């Protein structure tokens, strides 16, 4: 069965970041529609969610690879700032376990200092300002 599916998917676009976003967005909208059940807005949310999911599958099974690739690149360009901001926040949370992160009082440059070194004098590499902090 797996081989048949692989043969079927050969020459088709497959899953990319835009398709994942469409699928997740569609599922969220369908779940939100249950909160508005019984009304016109609930039906519209439900319909819109299924349209997103169907479009996701259309993109996955499409043989027009160049057009789907261009759509994905456009999506990635539009969401670049948001994705980099989220990645920076994740990085910062991981680093906070090992390092203290201070801002220079002179130029506001972020400086990373290892934890557990006691009271130390920190010299900013950008502007040369020195200040004392506990690490």
Confidence category of residue 36, pLDDT binned at 50, 70, 90:
confident
Instruction: Return the structure tokens found at 64.
Output: 């027009």
Q: Got the DSSP string for 26-60?
A: HHHHHHHHTTTTTSHHHHHHHHHHHHHHHHHHHHH
CA proximity to 71, closest of 82, 81, 60: 60
Tens digit of pLDDT for each residue in 72-116? 999 999 999 999 999 999 988 888 889 988 899 889 898 888 988
Residue of 65, 85, 55 lying closest to 13 (CA atoms):
65
The pTM of the full predicted model, rounded to 2 decimals, is 0.68
């Amino acid at each position: 069965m797996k081989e048949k599916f692989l043969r079927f998917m050969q020459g088709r676009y497959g899953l990319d970041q835009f398709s994942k976003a469409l699928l997740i967005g569609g599922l969220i909208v369908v779940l939100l529609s249950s909160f508005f059940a019984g009304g016109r807005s609930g039906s519209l949310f439900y319909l819109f969610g299924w349209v997103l999911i169907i479009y996701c599958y259309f993109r996955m099974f499409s043989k027009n690879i160049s057009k789907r690739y261009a759509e994905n690149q456009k999506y990635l360009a539009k969401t670049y700032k948001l994705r980099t901001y989220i990645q920076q926040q994740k990085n910062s949370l991981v680093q906070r376990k090992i390092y203290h992160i201070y801002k220079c009082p002179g130029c506001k440059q972020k400086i990373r200092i290892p934890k557990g070194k006691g009271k130390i004098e920190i010299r900013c590499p950008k502007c040369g300002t020195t200040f004392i902090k506990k690490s």
